[in-house]
Amino acid sequence: MTIEELLAFAGRHPYLSMGLAGLTVAILYTEVAGLFRGYKTLRPAELTGLINRDEALVIDLSPIADFERGHIAGSKSVQMSQFDPESKLLAGAKAHPVVVVCRTGVTAAGAASRLKKAGFQHVYLLDGGIAAWRQADLPLVKGRA
């Protein structure tokens, strides 16, 4: 396909061309923003490896009732309203892997950014949160931690 053919196609199908350009810009923006946010996202299988290999500290920001219905084994419950990178729970973890999770992964993103700004070196976010963990058919523990 030549440039002339591509331009002719774009001229005949302006809405398709604009849609493609918009999607391309959105994908590029998402990828570039991911490089500058400071923390990494993990899929559930990657998180299990990090927990087993590096003894990562998992902080669950879910509401208490949701946490008690099901959480990742060994995770610590911290309410978002009480989340503080300088807390006693996190004080010794600045050089260790810290993973923040919530139900969907949205709330935890803000906490991950705060940890990175506070000087934590290895900050991770469970992409998709506990919902992704469940979808991967991984076990959850019920009750308090």
CA separation, residue 40 to residues 37, 59, 73, 97, 99 (Å): 8, 15, 21, 11, 9
- In tens, the pLDDT along 1-51 reads 898 998 898 899 999 989 999 999 988 887 776 666 789 999 999 999 999
Check whether 76 has a pLDDT greater than 70: yes
Q: Which helix (H) or strand (E) holds 61?
A: none
Q: Residue 33 has which token pair?
A: 């923003």
Is the CATH number of domain 39-135 3.40.250.10? yes
Query: What are the extents of the domains in the chain?
Result: 3-35, 39-135
Q: Quote the mean pLDDT of the chain.
A: 90
Which amino acid is present at 99?
V
pTM: 0.76
Q: Which one-letter DSSP state was computed for residue 92?
A: T
